[in-house]
Structure 1
């Protein structure tokens, strides 16, 4: 019999009402239910070690600069048509904004540990060499194009220097059983969040199998958590980097099946819950639009707070995430709204497919082009139709 791990306990409701357990079933890969399909992993060409940077295009660089500074990134260099930002963990660039006629996500970069891996991607994946690397951090680079049309840079030999993560001084927390903080008060500073590092990026795709196989094949990404539809077919995977015995974040790339090919959001690590809370107040004071939070995710466990940039792209602050070594086996869970977070407000409507004519048009077009079957469309609808927290009605 499969062993069932639950992420929380059943919730008690008013007498006479049905109790709805807020649990997230998690099966190790070798104990998953028989109907759940195992993720096939192609042999990797190289193994990426970290996210290097993300690339966005924006019509107005000034608006983007104001948001990103308020969000907690640091400006490295400003040129006529490009902005380069860093986090506190490294002087190398982690965020690029290029001037473009329309707002869009343009690409991402991966760091490799060995420069010889660049040759592998050139010979076996058709990557093109970059003769001159303008992005701060230096090193050598090649470029590919992923199935969504994004630029994908692979870099080796970037210069990070000595890590200098900027952390605020924190006094110890008092608990019901220990009070180490005596005659002292907690007053976390009000201001930008001081982003420590780029954490992850999330994509939605109409070709789930094709895109997940491409990233596993080219960069050796490891599935940490796999979410499956009612028929047992995977439809969302949290990927981490294969660093062997060195722990890696629970996810650095997330790919979800859906009705469009698009960037979903990106995430940036901050110090702790106080940093989330105070920076959330600061961003509100600057007039930026809040998206979701504060709460705690289920898969990855991180505390989160989401914001919209000036062009509606979601940017997440997070803290206290899980890390795993390469020998940790993937876990399989049913895909539903409730599995996204442990506490906090429900998933906002803008993060879910809208029941309108636009959604119907996208679905009809995919069905006509045979990029989506009616059976899979029904499975996706069933997975997202269940109320996330029924007892909160």
Structure 2
């Protein structure tokens, strides 16, 4: 199976690219390339682009791209049933890809060899003076309400018609580990949600890169972008409020993964998240089952409504 390195991009289709560009710019991304038919937005990290939008009459989530470690990974994936041959991506930044389709029709691309860009993150994370440790000395924090920089695409979440089949499909193609599980409230099973992380052995990785959720409705739940620290989350939150965008849930701290989160809706109703301070795991971390309600997934802050995971 292929070794995944990073979630490279999510891809959508909407009828108005200008409207999407304005929102994603306010959300902290930067246009790296565009034409009348497609918009490519980057973060401040090395990925050439992390959010792609095609112009189509009907809005939809198309899929996601996962960077793998080698050309050999692509060749191995190309041999599996339903996979394309290894081909050029045809996107800015170049590289090669194998195109696959999940059971519910989501397009998953494995990519390799795409051009990397120079990091453009404006500042380092502020040191936090807590009761036990006070590393910030003779330095003041002065921040403005403005778009925060989205550094990288951290994860995406899918609603699927068959949880087990979707998890199996991903595991057959990519080297993944289970981080945590959702089970129905008050019960011990069956598993209806699985957080999946990349298996990098003893190296630390994000709590999850993908979350698969059993649902009567098939589609994307959200995509999520990491920002530098809590001040970035909060100043961006205030800026987006001032701009009149639709807040869905935030700011708060998740139970599973521990991320400080802030969820918004883009102009087309797609859910997007800023996050910081998530859990980091290695190969030894073991999954646990969570059988609480949607509102109980928040440790503090603005809890999501009952419909959040429906």
* CA drift at 1:158: 2.2
CA 130–55 in structure 1, closer or farther in 2 if over 3 Å, else same: farther
1:242 aligns with 2:194: no
TM-score by length of 1: 0.74
* CA drift at 1:183: 6.5
The one of 169, 175, 181 aligned to 1:214 = 169
1:146 aligns with 2:96: no
Q: Which moved more, 1:247-256 or 1:167-176?
A: 167-176
* CA drift at 1:330: 2.2
Counterpart-to-counterpart distance in 1, 2:131 and 2:167? 46
Contact 2:39–2:53 (CA under 8 A) maintained in structure 1: yes
Contact 1:167–1:271 (CA under 8 A) maintained in structure 2: no
Aligned to 1:285: 242
CA 48–171 in structure 1, closer or farther in 2 if over 3 Å, else same: closer
Q: Which moved more, 1:142-151 or 1:312-321?
A: 142-151
CA 62–173 in structure 1, closer or farther in 2 if over 3 Å, else same: same
> Which is helix-richer, 1 or 2?
1
Aligned to 1:81: 37
Aligned to 1:297: 254
Aligned to 2:283: 326
Report SS of the residue matched to 2:79.
helix
1:186 aligns with 2:141: yes
Contact 2:47–2:152 (CA under 8 A) maintained in structure 1: no
* CA drift at 1:185: 4.0
* CA drift at 1:118: 1.2
Report SS of the residue matched to 1:307.
strand
1:46 aligns with 2:2: yes
Counterpart-to-counterpart distance in 1, 2:264 and 2:38? 22
Q: Which moved more, 1:178-187 or 1:218-227?
A: 178-187
Contact 2:225–2:273 (CA under 8 A) maintained in structure 1: yes
Report SS of the residue matched to 2:192.
strand
RMSD, aligned α-carbons: 2.0
Counterpart-to-counterpart distance in 2, 1:347 and 1:79? 37
Structure 1, unmatched stretches of 5+, are 1-44, 354-393
* CA drift at 1:352: 4.8
Report SS of the residue matched to 1:117.
helix
CA 254–180 in structure 1, closer or farther in 2 if over 3 Å, else same: closer
Contact 1:191–1:278 (CA under 8 A) maintained in structure 2: yes
Kindly provide the CA deviation profile for residues 211-232 of structure 1, in whole angstroms up to 9, marking residues without a partner as x.
1111111212211001223152
Aligned to 2:230: 273
> Which is strand-richer, 1 or 2?
2
TM-score by length of 2: 0.93
Kindly provide the CA deviation profile for residues 317-343 of structure 1, in whole angstroms up to 9, marking residues without a partner as x.
000111111232222332432541110
Kindly provide the CA deviation profile for residues 181-203 of structure 1, in whole angstroms up to 9, marking residues without a partner as x.
56754321221110000010001
1:313 aligns with 2:270: yes
1:168 aligns with 2:93: no
Report SS of the residue matched to 1:129.
coil
* CA drift at 1:170: 5.7
Aligned to 1:70: 26
Kindly provide the CA deviation profile for residues 76-125 of structure 1, in whole angstroms up to 9, marking residues without a partner as x.
00111000011111151111100011111001111110211111111123
The one of 348, 368, 377 aligned to 2:305 = 348
Kindly provide the CA deviation profile for residues 137-167 of structure 1, in whole angstroms up to 9, marking residues without a partner as x.
32211101111111111111222255x2514
Contact 2:94–2:113 (CA under 8 A) maintained in structure 1: yes
* CA drift at 1:316: 0.3
Kindly provide the CA deviation profile for residues 232-254 of structure 1, in whole angstroms up to 9, marking residues without a partner as x.
21111111011122211100100
Which of the pair has more CA radius of gyration? 1
Aligned to 2:52: 96
The one of 74, 77, 89 aligned to 1:133 = 89
